[in-house]
Amino acid sequence: MLKKEDGRLDFRLPARVLEARLRGFTPWPGAFTTIAGRLLKVLKVRVGDGRGEPGVVLVASGDCLEVACGEGSLRLDESCPKASGR
């Protein structure tokens, strides 16, 4: 049985695994992460070619964040901050 916490993105995993988890967890429990202490719901991702320490933001521009994973990187192409009170 899935729990809401199962949707938390663990950037220590390979980017391809996280991409597959997002597809599997849509629509419920959804995928999310936290950035600067704020909850961020992730709607669409794709595997990137960046490298770095897992969880480190490699690129932050426009509507895209690219985060280093255990293998490769994950581009959070569509994400939105969760509104407070929801």
- Say if 86 falls within a structural domain: no
Give the residue numbers spanning the domain of 14. Answer: 4-81
The two three-digit tokens of residue 70, written as one number:
């255990």
| Per-residue tens of pLDDT for the chain, all 86 residues | 889 999 999 999 999 999 999 999 988 999 999 888 899 899 899 999 999 999 999 988 877 789 999 999 999 886 545 444 43
Q: How far apart are CA 72 and CA 68, in angstroms?
A: 6
CATH number for the domain harbouring residue 47 = 3.10.25.10
Question: Which pLDDT belongs to residue 67?
Answer: 95
0.75 exceeded by the pTM?
yes
Distance CA 36, CA 72 (A): 22
- What is the Cα gyration radius of the chain? 12
Looking at the 3D structure of the chain, how many domains does it have?
1
> Do 66 and 73 meet the contact criterion of CB atoms below 8 Å apart?
yes
Report the alpha-carbon distance of residue 63 to residue 12 in Å, rounded: 23
pLDDT at 86: 36
Q: Does residue 59 fall inside a structural domain?
A: yes
Question: Would residue 65 count as lying in a domain?
Answer: yes
In a domain, 23, yes or no: yes
